[in-house]
Chains A and B, each alone.
Chain A
Amino acid sequence: MSAKIAVRECDALACGFLCLQACPLGALLAVPRNHSRGGSAKPRGYGVAARFEGHCNACGLCIEACPQKAISIQG
Protein backbone atom coordinates (compact mmCIF):
# COMPACT_ATOMS: atom_id res chain seq x y z
CA MET A 1 0.00 0.00 0.00
CA SER A 2 1.37 3.35 -0.97
CA ALA A 3 1.77 6.31 1.35
CA LYS A 4 -0.84 9.05 1.55
CA ILE A 5 0.56 12.44 0.63
CA ALA A 6 -1.45 15.40 1.90
CA VAL A 7 -0.87 18.70 0.09
CA ARG A 8 -2.40 21.86 1.53
CA GLU A 9 -3.57 24.52 -0.90
CA CYS A 10 -0.38 26.28 -2.01
CA ASP A 11 0.87 28.72 -4.60
CA ALA A 12 3.20 26.52 -6.60
CA LEU A 13 4.02 29.19 -9.18
CA ALA A 14 5.46 31.40 -6.43
CA CYS A 15 8.07 28.84 -5.31
CA GLY A 16 8.71 27.48 -8.81
CA PHE A 17 7.44 23.91 -8.25
CA LEU A 18 10.24 22.94 -5.86
CA CYS A 19 8.44 19.80 -4.65
CA LEU A 20 7.94 18.54 -8.20
CA GLN A 21 11.61 18.94 -8.93
CA ALA A 22 12.52 17.21 -5.68
CA CYS A 23 10.37 14.12 -6.29
CA PRO A 24 12.63 11.40 -7.75
CA LEU A 25 9.72 9.24 -8.89
CA GLY A 26 7.33 11.74 -10.42
CA ALA A 27 4.45 11.09 -8.02
CA LEU A 28 3.33 14.72 -7.82
CA LEU A 29 1.51 16.68 -10.52
CA ALA A 30 1.08 20.41 -11.05
CA VAL A 31 -2.67 21.03 -11.32
CA PRO A 32 -4.24 24.18 -12.78
CA ARG A 33 -6.63 26.13 -10.60
CA ASN A 34 -9.99 27.61 -11.56
CA HIS A 35 -11.13 24.86 -13.84
CA SER A 36 -12.54 26.45 -16.98
CA ARG A 37 -13.94 23.13 -18.30
CA GLY A 38 -10.85 22.33 -20.32
CA GLY A 39 -10.71 25.59 -22.26
CA SER A 40 -7.51 26.58 -24.00
CA ALA A 41 -7.07 29.79 -21.95
CA LYS A 42 -4.08 30.04 -19.63
CA PRO A 43 -4.83 28.86 -16.07
CA ARG A 44 -4.72 31.58 -13.43
CA GLY A 45 -2.62 29.61 -11.00
CA TYR A 46 -1.21 26.22 -10.19
CA GLY A 47 -1.37 24.02 -7.13
CA VAL A 48 0.24 20.65 -6.51
CA ALA A 49 -1.52 17.33 -5.98
CA ALA A 50 -0.26 13.81 -5.32
CA ARG A 51 -1.94 12.25 -8.34
CA PHE A 52 0.46 9.38 -8.98
CA GLU A 53 0.73 8.08 -5.45
CA GLY A 54 1.32 4.59 -6.72
CA HIS A 55 4.87 5.70 -7.51
CA CYS A 56 5.49 7.18 -4.03
CA ASN A 57 7.91 5.45 -1.67
CA ALA A 58 7.49 8.05 1.10
CA CYS A 59 11.09 9.23 0.95
CA GLY A 60 10.08 12.68 2.23
CA LEU A 61 12.14 14.79 -0.16
CA CYS A 62 9.07 16.84 -1.15
CA ILE A 63 8.40 17.72 2.50
CA GLU A 64 11.93 19.08 2.85
CA ALA A 65 11.69 20.98 -0.42
CA CYS A 66 8.43 22.81 0.33
CA PRO A 67 9.10 26.37 1.61
CA GLN A 68 5.44 26.74 2.64
CA LYS A 69 5.42 23.50 4.72
CA ALA A 70 2.34 22.44 2.79
CA ILE A 71 3.15 18.74 2.35
CA SER A 72 2.87 15.91 4.85
CA ILE A 73 2.93 12.14 4.49
CA GLN A 74 0.75 9.75 6.44
CA GLY A 75 1.13 6.01 6.77
Chain B
Amino acid sequence: MCEFCSKYGHQNRWYLNPDNFSDKLLQDKARQKVLDQVAGWGVDYYIERNSRLAPLTKAPLVGGLVKAYVNRTTPAQHGGQILSLEDALRLVDIARDFVALPCMCRRLVGGRSDMTCLNFGPIKELTARYKPEEPMEELPPEEVKARLRRFDKMGYLHQVFYAKLPYPVVICNCDRKYCASLKFRLLYDVEKACLKGHEVCIVDQARCDGCSGKPECLRMCQFGALRWVPTDGTVVCEPRNCFGCGVCRPACPHGALHLLPRESLAPLRDVW
Protein backbone atom coordinates (compact mmCIF):
# COMPACT_ATOMS: atom_id res chain seq x y z
CA MET B 1 0.00 0.00 0.00
CA CYS B 2 1.08 3.55 -0.68
CA GLU B 3 2.78 4.97 2.37
CA PHE B 4 0.69 8.14 2.33
CA CYS B 5 -2.55 6.16 2.09
CA SER B 6 -1.68 3.78 4.92
CA LYS B 7 -1.18 6.82 7.17
CA TYR B 8 -3.88 9.18 5.93
CA GLY B 9 -6.19 7.19 3.69
CA HIS B 10 -8.55 5.40 6.12
CA GLN B 11 -9.23 2.63 3.57
CA ASN B 12 -9.22 5.22 0.79
CA ARG B 13 -6.59 7.05 -1.19
CA TRP B 14 -5.16 9.97 0.79
CA TYR B 15 -6.30 12.54 -1.75
CA LEU B 16 -9.82 11.07 -1.87
CA ASN B 17 -10.34 10.97 1.89
CA PRO B 18 -12.72 13.88 2.74
CA ASP B 19 -11.14 14.21 6.21
CA ASN B 20 -7.95 15.47 4.58
CA PHE B 21 -9.76 18.45 3.03
CA SER B 22 -11.09 19.65 6.37
CA ASP B 23 -10.55 23.30 7.28
CA LYS B 24 -9.48 22.13 10.73
CA LEU B 25 -6.14 21.16 9.20
CA LEU B 26 -5.55 24.83 8.41
CA GLN B 27 -5.00 25.56 12.08
CA ASP B 28 -1.61 23.86 11.87
CA LYS B 29 1.02 26.65 11.96
CA ALA B 30 3.53 24.69 9.90
CA ARG B 31 0.91 24.03 7.23
CA GLN B 32 -0.04 27.72 7.11
CA LYS B 33 3.60 28.54 6.47
CA VAL B 34 3.82 26.05 3.61
CA LEU B 35 0.57 27.38 2.13
CA ASP B 36 1.82 30.99 2.30
CA GLN B 37 4.98 29.88 0.57
CA VAL B 38 3.21 27.89 -2.13
CA ALA B 39 0.57 30.51 -2.90
CA GLY B 40 2.99 33.45 -2.74
CA TRP B 41 6.33 33.96 -4.40
CA GLY B 42 7.94 31.70 -1.82
CA VAL B 43 7.57 28.76 -4.20
CA ASP B 44 10.32 30.30 -6.35
CA TYR B 45 12.63 30.16 -3.37
CA TYR B 46 11.47 26.64 -2.53
CA ILE B 47 12.37 25.33 -5.99
CA GLU B 48 15.59 27.37 -6.01
CA ARG B 49 16.76 25.98 -2.66
CA ASN B 50 15.83 22.40 -3.44
CA SER B 51 17.52 22.49 -6.84
CA ARG B 52 20.67 23.93 -5.24
CA LEU B 53 20.77 21.16 -2.63
CA ALA B 54 19.54 18.27 -4.82
CA PRO B 55 22.98 17.46 -6.33
CA LEU B 56 24.14 16.62 -2.78
CA THR B 57 22.05 13.45 -3.03
CA LYS B 58 24.62 12.22 -5.53
CA ALA B 59 27.63 13.12 -3.38
CA PRO B 60 29.95 10.21 -2.61
CA LEU B 61 29.46 8.53 0.80
CA VAL B 62 26.95 11.03 2.25
CA GLY B 63 24.59 11.12 -0.75
CA GLY B 64 22.42 8.30 0.60
CA LEU B 65 22.02 10.09 3.91
CA VAL B 66 21.05 13.34 2.21
CA LYS B 67 18.47 11.50 0.10
CA ALA B 68 17.00 9.80 3.17
CA TYR B 69 16.79 13.18 4.89
CA VAL B 70 15.06 14.82 1.92
CA ASN B 71 12.60 11.93 1.60
CA ARG B 72 11.83 12.27 5.31
CA THR B 73 11.30 16.02 5.33
CA THR B 74 9.48 16.56 2.01
CA PRO B 75 6.07 15.23 3.20
CA ALA B 76 6.00 18.08 5.76
CA GLN B 77 6.45 20.57 2.92
CA HIS B 78 5.30 20.45 -0.70
CA GLY B 79 5.37 17.37 -2.90
CA GLY B 80 3.08 15.40 -5.14
CA GLN B 81 1.81 12.13 -6.49
CA ILE B 82 0.76 11.17 -10.00
CA LEU B 83 -2.92 10.33 -10.35
CA SER B 84 -5.12 9.03 -13.15
CA LEU B 85 -7.85 11.09 -14.80
CA GLU B 86 -10.53 9.06 -12.98
CA ASP B 87 -9.05 9.86 -9.58
CA ALA B 88 -8.62 13.52 -10.52
CA LEU B 89 -12.31 13.73 -11.47
CA ARG B 90 -13.28 12.10 -8.17
CA LEU B 91 -11.11 14.62 -6.32
CA VAL B 92 -12.94 17.50 -7.99
CA ASP B 93 -16.18 16.34 -6.33
CA ILE B 94 -14.59 16.57 -2.87
CA ALA B 95 -12.67 19.84 -3.06
CA ARG B 96 -14.02 23.40 -2.99
CA ASP B 97 -13.18 26.76 -4.59
CA PHE B 98 -11.38 25.75 -7.76
CA VAL B 99 -9.22 28.35 -9.50
CA ALA B 100 -6.95 27.98 -12.52
CA LEU B 101 -3.55 29.67 -12.23
CA PRO B 102 -0.56 29.78 -14.59
CA CYS B 103 1.91 26.95 -13.93
CA MET B 104 4.80 28.21 -11.83
CA CYS B 105 7.30 25.53 -12.80
CA ARG B 106 6.80 26.50 -16.43
CA ARG B 107 7.44 30.12 -15.63
CA LEU B 108 10.73 29.19 -13.96
CA VAL B 109 11.89 26.74 -16.61
CA GLY B 110 10.92 28.96 -19.54
CA GLY B 111 7.66 27.52 -20.82
CA ARG B 112 4.52 29.15 -22.13
CA SER B 113 2.26 30.62 -19.50
CA ASP B 114 -0.73 28.24 -19.48
CA MET B 115 -3.55 28.04 -16.96
CA THR B 116 -2.84 24.41 -16.13
CA CYS B 117 -2.51 24.58 -12.33
CA LEU B 118 -5.97 23.74 -10.99
CA ASN B 119 -5.81 24.95 -7.39
CA PHE B 120 -8.45 24.48 -4.73
CA GLY B 121 -9.16 25.17 -1.07
CA PRO B 122 -7.48 28.18 0.52
CA ILE B 123 -5.25 28.95 -2.48
CA LYS B 124 -7.83 31.31 -4.01
CA GLU B 125 -7.73 33.73 -1.05
CA LEU B 126 -4.00 33.41 -0.53
CA THR B 127 -3.18 34.12 -4.18
CA ALA B 128 -5.42 37.19 -4.12
CA ARG B 129 -3.45 38.36 -1.10
CA TYR B 130 0.11 37.62 -2.25
CA LYS B 131 -0.11 37.83 -6.04
CA PRO B 132 -2.92 40.29 -6.81
CA GLU B 133 -1.67 40.81 -10.36
CA GLU B 134 -1.64 37.06 -11.18
CA PRO B 135 -4.31 36.05 -13.76
CA MET B 136 -6.76 33.81 -11.93
CA GLU B 137 -9.89 32.08 -13.27
CA GLU B 138 -12.57 30.87 -10.90
CA LEU B 139 -13.98 27.61 -12.21
CA PRO B 140 -17.15 25.65 -11.41
CA PRO B 141 -16.53 21.90 -10.87
CA GLU B 142 -17.98 20.99 -14.28
CA GLU B 143 -15.50 23.27 -16.03
CA VAL B 144 -12.62 21.83 -13.98
CA LYS B 145 -13.61 18.35 -15.13
CA ALA B 146 -13.88 19.47 -18.74
CA ARG B 147 -10.38 20.95 -18.55
CA LEU B 148 -8.95 17.85 -16.93
CA ARG B 149 -10.37 15.74 -19.75
CA ARG B 150 -8.93 18.13 -22.31
CA PHE B 151 -5.48 18.10 -20.68
CA ASP B 152 -5.61 14.30 -20.58
CA LYS B 153 -6.17 14.14 -24.34
CA MET B 154 -3.31 16.61 -24.86
CA GLY B 155 -0.98 14.30 -22.93
CA TYR B 156 -0.50 16.42 -19.81
CA LEU B 157 -0.11 14.10 -16.85
CA HIS B 158 -1.99 14.90 -13.65
CA GLN B 159 -0.34 15.27 -10.32
CA VAL B 160 -1.88 16.09 -6.95
CA PHE B 161 0.26 18.20 -4.62
CA TYR B 162 -0.07 18.58 -0.86
CA ALA B 163 0.83 21.44 1.43
CA LYS B 164 2.18 19.42 4.34
CA LEU B 165 0.70 15.95 4.06
CA PRO B 166 -2.19 15.08 4.01
CA TYR B 167 -3.73 18.39 2.82
CA PRO B 168 -4.14 18.44 -1.01
CA VAL B 169 -4.08 21.90 -2.61
CA VAL B 170 -3.59 21.57 -6.35
CA ILE B 171 -3.93 19.28 -9.36
CA CYS B 172 -1.03 20.11 -11.70
CA ASN B 173 -1.18 19.21 -15.38
CA CYS B 174 2.25 19.16 -16.89
CA ASP B 175 5.00 17.23 -18.55
CA ARG B 176 8.45 15.99 -17.80
CA LYS B 177 10.35 18.90 -19.27
CA TYR B 178 8.84 21.56 -17.04
CA CYS B 179 7.61 19.89 -13.87
CA ALA B 180 10.03 20.67 -11.03
CA SER B 181 8.95 17.76 -8.85
CA LEU B 182 9.37 15.28 -11.71
CA LYS B 183 12.85 16.66 -12.33
CA PHE B 184 13.82 15.97 -8.72
CA ARG B 185 12.42 12.48 -9.02
CA LEU B 186 13.96 11.59 -12.37
CA LEU B 187 17.34 13.32 -12.04
CA TYR B 188 18.01 12.75 -8.36
CA ASP B 189 15.73 9.78 -7.43
CA VAL B 190 14.02 11.75 -4.67
CA GLU B 191 10.92 9.53 -4.45
CA LYS B 192 8.90 11.76 -2.16
CA ALA B 193 9.12 14.74 -4.54
CA CYS B 194 6.74 12.86 -6.84
CA LEU B 195 5.35 9.46 -5.91
CA LYS B 196 4.19 7.11 -8.65
CA GLY B 197 0.45 6.67 -9.08
CA HIS B 198 -1.72 3.91 -7.67
CA GLU B 199 -2.00 2.16 -11.02
CA VAL B 200 0.25 0.70 -13.68
CA CYS B 201 -0.38 0.60 -17.41
CA ILE B 202 -0.74 -2.80 -19.05
CA VAL B 203 -0.95 -3.39 -22.80
CA ASP B 204 -3.56 -5.95 -23.80
CA GLN B 205 -1.50 -7.90 -26.33
CA ALA B 206 -4.62 -9.46 -27.88
CA ARG B 207 -5.89 -6.01 -28.83
CA CYS B 208 -2.68 -4.20 -29.74
CA ASP B 209 -1.99 -4.46 -33.46
CA GLY B 210 0.86 -1.93 -33.49
CA CYS B 211 -1.18 0.55 -35.60
CA SER B 212 0.74 -0.53 -38.76
CA GLY B 213 3.99 0.66 -37.26
CA LYS B 214 2.74 4.09 -36.22
CA PRO B 215 1.56 3.72 -32.63
CA GLU B 216 0.22 7.00 -31.24
CA CYS B 217 0.51 5.86 -27.63
CA LEU B 218 4.32 6.04 -27.66
CA ARG B 219 4.02 9.75 -28.32
CA MET B 220 2.03 10.28 -25.13
CA CYS B 221 4.26 8.48 -22.61
CA GLN B 222 6.48 10.93 -20.69
CA PHE B 223 8.53 8.23 -19.01
CA GLY B 224 9.61 5.99 -21.86
CA ALA B 225 7.58 3.16 -20.35
CA LEU B 226 5.86 2.23 -23.61
CA ARG B 227 8.19 0.56 -26.05
CA TRP B 228 7.87 -0.61 -29.64
CA VAL B 229 8.81 -4.24 -30.22
CA PRO B 230 9.87 -4.49 -33.88
CA THR B 231 9.86 -8.29 -33.91
CA ASP B 232 6.21 -8.55 -32.87
CA GLY B 233 5.08 -5.25 -34.36
CA THR B 234 3.32 -4.34 -31.09
CA VAL B 235 3.79 -2.13 -28.07
CA VAL B 236 4.72 -3.26 -24.56
CA CYS B 237 4.77 -1.38 -21.30
CA GLU B 238 7.86 -1.51 -19.13
CA PRO B 239 6.05 -1.53 -15.80
CA ARG B 240 9.02 -0.36 -13.72
CA ASN B 241 9.21 2.86 -15.71
CA CYS B 242 5.45 3.42 -15.68
CA PHE B 243 4.21 6.13 -13.33
CA GLY B 244 0.55 5.22 -13.86
CA CYS B 245 -0.64 8.57 -15.19
CA GLY B 246 -2.80 6.91 -17.85
CA VAL B 247 -2.49 9.66 -20.47
CA CYS B 248 -1.50 7.02 -23.05
CA ARG B 249 -5.01 5.51 -23.00
CA PRO B 250 -6.93 8.04 -25.12
CA ALA B 251 -4.32 7.66 -27.88
CA CYS B 252 -5.13 3.97 -28.42
CA PRO B 253 -7.83 3.42 -31.08
CA HIS B 254 -8.29 -0.24 -30.00
CA GLY B 255 -8.67 0.29 -26.24
CA ALA B 256 -5.65 -1.93 -25.62
CA LEU B 257 -4.15 0.16 -22.80
CA HIS B 258 -5.48 -0.38 -19.28
CA LEU B 259 -4.56 0.74 -15.82
CA LEU B 260 -4.31 -2.01 -13.21
CA PRO B 261 -4.02 -1.35 -9.48
CA ARG B 262 -0.38 -1.46 -8.41
CA GLU B 263 -1.33 -3.61 -5.42
CA SER B 264 -2.58 -6.39 -7.71
CA LEU B 265 0.87 -6.82 -9.27
CA ALA B 266 3.26 -8.50 -6.85
CA PRO B 267 6.60 -7.19 -8.20
CA LEU B 268 5.34 -3.59 -8.27
CA ARG B 269 3.49 -3.53 -4.98
CA ASP B 270 6.29 -1.70 -3.20
CA VAL B 271 7.58 0.40 -6.10
CA TRP B 272 6.39 3.95 -5.56
Q: Do A and B bind each other?
A: yes
Within 8 Å of chain B (Cβ to Cβ): is A10? no
Interface residue from B39, B54, B109, B188 paired with A28 (Cβ < 8 Å) = B109
Which A residues lie within 8 Å of B46 (CB)?
Answer: 38
Within 8 Å of chain B (Cβ to Cβ): is A51? yes
Within 8 Å of chain B (Cβ to Cβ): is A74? no
A52 to B58, CA, bound (A): 13
Within 8 Å of chain A (Cβ to Cβ): is B69? no
Minimal Cβ-Cβ distance residue in A for B133: A42
Which A residues lie within 8 Å of B178 (CB)?
Answer: 26
Q: Say yes or no: A52-B45 contact (C-beta < 8 A), given A21-B110, A29-B51.
A: no
Q: Say yes or no: A38-B51 contact (C-beta < 8 A), given A25-B177, A29-B108.
A: no
CB distance from A5 to the nearest CB of B (A): 13
| A23, A26, A36, A39, most chain B CB atoms within 10 A | A26
Within 8 Å of chain A (Cβ to Cβ): is B206? no
With an 8 Å Cβ cutoff, the count of chain A residues facing the other chain is 27
**A38, B183: Cβ atoms under 8 Å?**
no
Which B residues lie within 8 Å of A32 (CB)?
Answer: 41, 44-45, 48
B15-52 interface bits toward A, Cβ cutoff 8 Å, 1 = contact, 0 = none:
00000000000000000000011011110111111011
**B110, A20: Cβ atoms under 8 Å?**
yes
Within 8 Å of chain A (Cβ to Cβ): is B61? no
**B109, A29: Cβ atoms under 8 Å?**
yes
Q: Say yes or no: A35-B110 contact (C-beta < 8 A), given A26-B178, A29-B51.
A: no
Minimal Cβ-Cβ distance residue in B for A40: B40
Q: Say yes or no: A41-B40 contact (C-beta < 8 A), given A20-B109, A35-B45.
A: yes
A55 to B41, CA, bound (A): 26
**B177, A38: Cβ atoms under 8 Å?**
no
Within 8 Å of chain A (Cβ to Cβ): is B254? no
Leading 4 A-B pairs by shortest Cβ distance: A40-B40, A20-B110, A51-B51, A26-B177
B residues in contact (CB < 8 Å) with A: 36-37, 39-42, 44-49, 51-52, 54, 107-111, 130-131, 177-178, 183, 187-188
A residues in contact (CB < 8 Å) with B: 17, 19-23, 25-26, 28-32, 35-43, 49, 51-52, 54-55
Q: A29-B48, A41-B41, A42-B131 known; 5 other A-B pairs, CB under 8 Å?
A: A17-B110, A30-B44, A30-B109, A31-B48, A51-B51
